[in-house]
Amino acid sequence: MKPIPIVLDCDPGHDDALAMILAAHNPGINLLAITTVSGNGNISKVTQNALRVCALAKIKVPVAQGAGSALLGHTEAATDIHGESALDGATLPDPIFALEEMSGVDLIAKTVREHVEKVTLVATGPLTNIALFLKFYPELKSRINEIVFMGGSIDRGNRTPYAEFNIWMDPEAADVVIKSGLPLTMCGLNVSHQALVTKDIFAQLEKMQAPLADTVIGLLRFFASTYNEVFEMPDPPLHDPITVALLIDRSVVRTRRANVEIELNGKYTRGATVVDIYNRNGSPTNVDVAIQLDFDRFWSLILNAVEAAAKA
């Protein structure tokens, strides 16, 4: 099968870093570019992190810095989960190449315009860049194959009782994406909380006995400690790489077609994804919602990618 051309829009972030490694080190994906968005840390921190992960995992694609705040100006950082640097837990190498001079949104547009095939957009942070791209470059919409994003939940949230972090950060951007009419797959907390980094996964990473695997272990141990502190989850959920994994192998997740709306106004529920699983409202379906993860398939893709990156 021909590799799937993607642009990865991310806010690294521990799980974003693993999404980058999977996208770059699986032959089923043709990673064309990486763009960053303010989320887990401020935009300069997450952009530096993206460049450092590229250096660590020998990823050589154009990287551009995207939006520094949400469409309505909101910023915050997930230091409680990802630490001060947004990627605490290991020392990463210095960047080995420079950022593109154009903005993240312009790099998405350039990549989509110039690539011969339609491009898939994978978003593992707030949806600000994707919404701006759709607004500023409507003529390129037909060049998008689909959008796969990590965000939302069919259950409860993690940033507020009902809002997941990526959607909470920029609900208006999520609303633009949800209403785009493009093929959409949503990987929310309900599925990412099945992608746990268990003791056995740590053991398999240790068995690799490779410096890159040790760095990944350091990052994931930090992630495990904050998840345990904040959410009482000793095995942390590796949210973001599910988006890439499902493109490589659709059987990694089972999805269900549903109507999804973004709550923009709720006094307590702003940023919630309202997923009408049983179509009680009778509204047209607009999203393939990931429901069930195949744990073994998912982890075998991740572990193989880490091993490949370690040997690169």
CA distance 293 to 80: 26
Does the protein bind ligand BDR through residue 307 (CB under 6 A)? no
The entry of Ca ion, ligand BDR, none that residue 78 binds, CB within 5 to 8 Å by partner kind: ligand BDR
Nearer to ligand BDR, 29 or 78 (CB): 78
Catalytic: 74?
no
Question: Mask 214-243, x = binds ligand BDR (CB under 6 A)?
Answer: -------------------------xx---
Does the protein bind ligand BDR through residue 13 (CB under 6 A)? yes
Min CB(290)–ligand BDR separation in Å: 13
Does the protein bind Ca ion through residue 125 (CB under 5 A)? yes
State which of residues 31, 78, 195, 309 lies at the interface with ligand BDR (CB under 6 A).
78
State which of residues 16, 88, 106, 170 lies at the interface with ligand BDR (CB under 6 A).
16
State which of residues 137, 165, 227, 299 lies at the interface with ligand BDR (CB under 6 A).
165
Nearer to Ca ion, 11 or 307 (CB): 11
CA distance 289 to 184: 8
Question: Any residues with CB less than 8 A from the CB of 245 and at least 6 apart, and which?
Answer: 22, 252, 253, 297, 298, 301, 302
Stretch of 22-30, 62-70, 161-169, 214-222 lying at the interface with ligand BDR (CB under 6 A): 161-169
State which of residues 9, 164, 170, 263 lies at the interface with ligand BDR (CB under 6 A).
164
State which of residues 51, 105, 108, 150 lies at the interface with ligand BDR (CB under 6 A).
150
Does the protein bind ligand BDR through residue 70 (CB under 6 A)? no
Nearer to ligand BDR, 32 or 242 (CB): 242
Residues that bind ligand BDR (CB under 6 A): 13, 15-16, 40, 78, 81, 124-125, 150, 158, 164-166, 239-240
**Which residue ranges make up the site for Ca ion (CB under 5 A)?**
11, 13, 16, 124-125, 240
Report the catalytic residues.
239
